[in-house]
Amino acid sequence: SAVISQKPSRDICQRGTSLTIQCQVDSQVTMMFWYRQQPGQSLTLIATANQGSEATYESGFVIDKFPISRPNLTFSTLTVSNMSPEDSSIYLCSVGVLREGQGTSLAGELFFGEGSRLTVL
Amino acid sequence: AQSVTQLGSHVSVSEGALVLLRCNYSSSVPPYLFWYVQYPNQGLQLLLKYTSAATLVKGINGFEAEFKKSETSFHLTKPSAHMSDAAEYFCAVRKATGANSKLTFGKGITLSVRP
């Protein structure tokens, strides 16, 4: 399995500010995904973070609001820009299959970080 | 596109009773199916997965799920509930095993366990 660390684990932010969430994985991974979990809701995929190219965003999410960086195979950041109270959510980083040679096949499951709990006032 | 449906938002059982959490999927191709659990203030943990091998899948903490293609279902069961099973449970579907294949979640079911 992969060990995923997210920072910050929680934060309280003011409206109009931006926050960058970091995701660090203990091994090289092909794909990293960013999910949002709004209060009492399920998980919604924001984007897929591709190493060496721009992130791929899902419908309803745009790069200006949620810029993503993926500088290497073990790290990614998600920024929530110009925050409003509607952005109050848990943001989760997840990773897919390890790169070849890194271990046994994981048959498609994703591993998740503990999440970053964001409250916007 | 693939999707999963979890009927109901809350299930309450007595300690020691059978746990049954329902999940139905929709997919144009044979799916990979997963159950995840989320304990309060924690991230998601994989309970079990179906990957086209055995249709009855055993997971952690005594949970198991059976893939029934004819019913397009992947219900999660546990013979005897424990207080520590109280959590949010998510069913998820993935179309392919590629690392860039999306995982689509159901809306989740909250399991409560009564003493």
Q: What does the alpha-carbon distance between residue B95 and residue A98 come to, in Å, rounded to a whole number?
A: 18
Identity of the residue in A107, A111, A115 whose CB atom sits nearest the CB atom of B97: A107
Count CB atoms within 10 A of the CB of residue B40. Answer: 7
Report the relative pairing of strands B73-78 and B64-68 from DSSP bridges. antiparallel
pLDDT by residue for chain B (115 residues), tens only, comes to 778 999 889 999 999 999 999 999 987 777 889 999 999 888 889 999 888 778 899 999 999 999 998 999 999 999 999 999 999 999 998 875 555 567 889 999 999 999 9
pLDDT tens for A59-111 read 999 999 999 999 998 999 999 999 999 999 999 999 876 544 444 444 567 88
Identity of the residue in A96, A109, A113 whose CB atom sits nearest the CB atom of B46: A109
**DSSP string covering B87-104, please?**
EEEEEEEES-SSTTPPEE
Identity of the residue in B32, B42, B103 whose CB atom sits nearest the CB atom of A107: B32
**pLDDT value of position A97:** 60
Numbered residues of chain B with Cβ closer than 8 Å to any chain A Cβ: 32, 34, 36, 41-46, 49, 51, 90, 94, 96-108
Q: Which of B72, B71, B67 is nearest to B34 (CA)?
A: B67
B4, two tokens: 């999963």
Cβ separation A43–B105 shorter than 8 A: yes
